[in-house]
Each structure stands twice: as structure tokens, then as C-alpha cells.
């Protein structure tokens, strides 16, 4: 059975679990603490807090269920869920770096991640160099003797640039650094970075994994050793944990993740191809289409593509905003990964990125679960109107 097909079983199937009376969905353990009948049992559990159910800031069974399920899908040894993608990202970064360390990060990474690395952590003596992650020369040129972390986001989620995951992981290993990737775009369905040698993978669960635009969450996945280290420090000490209600919601949505991703992939490609033929798009950025300069790399390290993409346009920004106003099915809004299609119109070049292309307007489109035929007709009618 191929890997993609196998994801359907992994997402849908659980053995009958007698601990939960065979409940077909994991129950919501709505409790802060777990009590013991005997003091020796309590003392034993307190020795390894994260292996036992003692307190829900440490180990709640509903949250643990989701962690195990996502670890299986991403092919990771261990996982920890957090209150948001940013809680997962900041905790994972802090588990690797300390005062006097240096980080190399892709310049198109998610804005708050860049702010955390470039501004917030600099207060604590951690320096970050931002580079074009598609350039191997830039990775080589940026590292220093004190580089502890290479931070990747592949693809990036505004211009959809890729990094070569296998090369980055081997390079990091050769200099004694850890690799951490934001894998939110591809989801565990289309990219398993740990299998390509990456040390830690993070997701904003608020996107495709949650899938219903009803919750905020994050997850860190990796080896037992690295994830346990995060569990014992950042997870327990900063306390940015996922609630059991959120874990139960996400666990329900997870059943259909492979199915949704299959639909998103097909519709996303269809809509992107249509956009690529329009005069108002000067460059299309979709890693799943052969027109993307890193298409072959994408095919090597991903088994599919999701449905968030962008295009550059030389049309006046106000005209593009007016087009967005007239779209019926694409709502104007941040985020992505839910059932509903979305659009944003952005000016590039505002956060120090170089390159002339980055000074034009970039329109980011998210293709939801509606009919691609309706979405394409909507794009055309709105453009005609402006």
C-alpha cells in the first residue's frame, strides 16, 4: 500500500480501547489533577511526571491521545501539543538555544517566528542571521562556530520557497547544530521531515490539522530524547499547554485530514493553474506546479501539495483589494487550513527582504473545500467587475 493511502487508515483507525469503555472518540478528561489511592503509587508517579497522569499541565489523556495520533501520522517517535503554533515554535527553539548561541533562519519564515528569533531572543543574547533558504551557499556562509540551530519553513507561506531538507539536515549534523522545520503547509500527509533527517518538526494545528477554523493549537514532533527535553523544561515551566477540549476537537477533525488534503490538493492546483493564465498575475508561486523553480525538489521531499499559494502582480494594490472585495466565495482574512476559501493582498519588501520581485504586490489565496468550478467563476467575475 502506498504511503498516502496508508494515512487514511492511520487517521481513521483506533483499536477498541477498554480504558475508555470502547468510546469511539477519545473522551474529554476535564480535570486538572489525577488522584491516587495509595501514597506509594503517588510517589512512583511523581518520579516521572510526564509518563504518568498526575496533573494536566503535564500529561492529560485527551491531549496525549492527539500527540500519539499525530506522531504516528508524521512518523515521529514523540510529540507534545501546545496552546498555539507559536507556543510550540518558541518552546522548541528555546529547548535548543541559550545565551551566546547563534541561529540561522530562512528570511521568509512566518513573521512572529522571525520576531521571536530576531528581536525577542536577542534580549537574551541569542543572535539570528536570516538568509534565502533556497541557497546552499547562503546556509554555508551564515553559520558560525556558535550556530546551534538551523530554522526552516518549507515551503514558506507567502512566497512558497523550499529548502532542501536532506541537505540542510546533513549540513547541520556536520556542524553539530539542530534542525527545526515549520511543516504547517505540507501537513503530516504530504511531508515527513524527520524521515529526511530533520530533528524537530512543528505545526500550527490552527491550520489544516484543526481544519475547521474553530481552534488554535500547535505541536512539536521529534525523537523521544528531544521531545522529552522540551516536555521537562519549556512545556512544564512555561505552561503553554493545549486544553483537553481543543485536543478532542482536533482529534475528531483528524479523522478526515487525509481526505480533506486530497480535496485541497486537487482544488488548489486547479485554481492556481487558472490564476497562472491571467494577465494580472506576473508570477505564480505554487510548489505543486511545474512552473515553480523548485518543483523537482518539492517532488523529492513532498508527496503532495496543499492549497495555499500566492501570485505576484504589477496591478495597483488598490485594484487588487477592490477585486478581493468583489469575491463572493473567498473571504478576506488571516490564517488558512479551514473549509473556507480566503484571500489577502500584501505589499512585499516591508521586512527587509531583498530582490526586486519582492517589491511588488503579493496576493495570497487559500483554496477551501468549495467547488473549484465555483471558485474559478468567482475569480473571473470579480476581475471583470474591476
Ligand X SMILES: Cc1ncc(COP(=O)(O)O)c(C=O)c1O
Give dist(CA 166, CA 193) in Å, integer: 8
Closest distance of CB 183 from ligand X, Å? 9
Q: Beta partners for 157? A: none
Quick one: which of 54, 66, 69, 85 contacts ligand X (CB under 6 A)?
A: 85
- 98, burial (CB in 10 Å: exposed 0-12, middle 13-18, buried 19+): exposed
Closest distance of CB 93 from ligand X, Å? 12
Query: Could you tell me the three cell numbers for 108?
Result: 521568509
Instruction: Show the site string, 107-146: x = touches ligand X by CB under 6 A, - = not.
Output: ---x------------------------------------
Quick one: which of 7, 128, 147, 157 contacts ligand X (CB under 6 A)?
A: 157
Nearest to 202 by CA among 61, 62, 81: 81
Judged by CB, which is closer to ligand X: 204, or 341? Answer: 204
Give dist(CA 67, CA 230) in Å, integer: 14
Interface with ligand X includes 206 (CB under 6 A)? yes
Query: Could you tell me the three cell numbers for 372?
Result: 473549484
Judged by CB, which is closer to ligand X: 49, or 216? Answer: 216
CA 203 to chain centre: 3
Judged by CB, which is closer to ligand X: 67, or 315? Answer: 67
Judged by CB, which is closer to ligand X: 54, or 310? Answer: 310
Instruction: From 16-24, 51-59, 82-90, 223-231, give the range in contact with ligand X by CB under 6 A.
Output: 82-90
Identify residues 94-113 at the interface with ligand X (CB under 6 A).
110
DSSP label at residue 55: B
Instruction: From 41-49, 84-92, 353-361, 370-378, give the range in contact with ligand X by CB under 6 A.
Output: 84-92
Interface with ligand X includes 60 (CB under 6 A)? no
Q: How many residues bind ligand X (CB under 6 A)?
A: 12
Judged by CB, which is closer to ligand X: 85, or 288? Answer: 85
Quick one: which of 28, 45, 216, 259 contacts ligand X (CB under 6 A)?
A: 216
Closest distance of CB 54 from ligand X, Å? 27
Give dist(CA 95, CA 31) in Å, integer: 28
Interface with ligand X includes 213 (CB under 6 A)? no
Identify residues 291-310 at the interface with ligand X (CB under 6 A).
none
Give dist(CA 309, CA 271) in Å, integer: 10
Instruction: Show the site string, 169-198: x = touches ligand X by CB under 6 A, - = not.
Output: -------------x-x--------------
Who's near 202: CB < 8 A, 6+ residues apart? 85, 88, 89, 92, 180, 181, 182, 183, 184, 218, 219, 220, 221
Identify residues 321-360 at the interface with ligand X (CB under 6 A).
335
Judged by CB, which is closer to ligand X: 206, or 301? Answer: 206
Interface with ligand X includes 219 (CB under 6 A)? no
Three-state SS annotation for 106-175: ECCCCHHHHHHHHHHHHHHCCEEEEECCCCHHHHHHHCCCCEEEEEEECCCCCCCCCCCHHHHHHHHHHC
Interface with ligand X includes 238 (CB under 6 A)? no
Contact 262, 119 (CB under 8 A): no
The length of the chain is 386
Judged by CB, which is closer to ligand X: 84, or 192? Answer: 84
Binding site for ligand X (CB under 6 A): 84-86, 110, 157, 182, 184, 204, 206, 216, 218, 335
Amino acid at each position: 500500500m502506498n504511503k498516502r493511502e496508508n494515512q487514511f487508515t492511520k487517521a481513521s483507525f483506533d483499536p477498541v480501547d477498554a480504558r475508555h469503555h470502547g468510546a469511539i472518540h477519545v473522551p474529554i478528561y476535564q480535570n486538572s489533577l489525577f488522584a491516587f489511592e495509595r501514597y506509594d503509587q503517588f510517589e512512583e508517579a511523581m518520579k516521572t511526571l510526564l509518563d504518568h497522569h498526575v496533573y494536566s499541565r503535564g500529561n492529560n489523556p485527551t491531549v496525549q491521545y492527539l500527540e500519539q495520533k499525530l506522531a504516528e501520522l508524521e512518523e515521529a517517535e514523540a510529540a507534545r501539543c501546545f496552546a498555539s503554533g507559536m507556543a510550540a515554535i518558541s518552546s522548541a527553539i528555546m529547548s535548543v538555544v541559550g545565551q551566546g548561541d547563534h541561529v540561522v533562519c530562512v528570511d521568509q519564515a512566518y513573521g512572529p517566528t522571525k520576531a521571536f528569533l530576531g528581536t525577542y531572543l536577542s534580549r537574551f543574547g541569542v543572535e539570528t542571521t536570516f538568509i534565502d533558504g533556497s541557497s546552499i551557499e547562503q546556509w554555508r556562509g551564515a553559520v558560525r562556530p556558535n550556530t546551534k540551530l538551523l530554522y526552516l519553513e518549507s515551503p514558506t507561506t507567502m512566497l512558497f520557497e523550499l529548502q532542501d531538507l536532506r541537505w540542510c539536515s546533513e549540513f547541520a549534523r556536520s556542524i553539530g547544530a539542530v534542525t527545526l522545520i515549520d511543516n504547517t503547509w505540507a501537513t503530516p500527509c504530504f511531508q515527513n521531515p524527520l524521515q529526511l533527517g530533520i530533528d524537530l518538526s512543528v505545526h500550527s494545528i490552527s491550520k489544516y490539522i484543526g481544519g475547521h477554523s474553530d481552534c488554535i493549537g500547535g505541536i512539536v514532533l521529534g525523537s523521544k530524547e528531544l521531545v522529552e527535553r522540551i516536555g521537562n523544561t519549556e512545556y512544564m515551566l512555561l505552561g503553554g499547554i493545549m486544553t483537553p477540549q481543543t485536543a478532542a476537537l482536533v482529534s475528531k477533525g483528524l479523522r478526515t485530514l487525509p481526505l480533506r488534503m486530497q480535496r485541497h490538493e486537487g482544488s488548489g492546483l486547479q485554481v492556481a493553474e487558472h490564476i497562472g493564465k491571467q494577465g494580472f498575475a506576473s508570477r505564480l508561486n505554487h510548489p505543486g506546479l511545474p512552473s515553480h523553480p523548485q518543483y523537482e525538489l518539492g517532488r523529492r521531499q513532498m508527496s503532495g501539495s496543499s492549497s495555499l499559494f500566492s501570485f505576484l502582480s504589477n496591478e495597483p494594490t488598490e485594484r487588487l483589494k477592490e477585486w478581493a472585495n468583489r469575491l463572493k466565495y473567498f473571504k478576506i482574512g488571516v490564517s488558512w487550513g479551514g473549509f473556507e476559501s480566503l484571500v489577502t493582498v500584501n505589499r512585499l519588501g516591508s521586512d527587509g527582504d531583498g530582490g526586486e520581485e519582492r517589491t511588488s504586490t503579493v496576493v495570497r489565496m487559500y483554496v477551501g473545500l468549495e467547488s473549484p468550478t465555483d471558485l474559478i467563476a468567482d475569480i473571473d467575475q470579480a476581475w471583470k467587475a474591476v
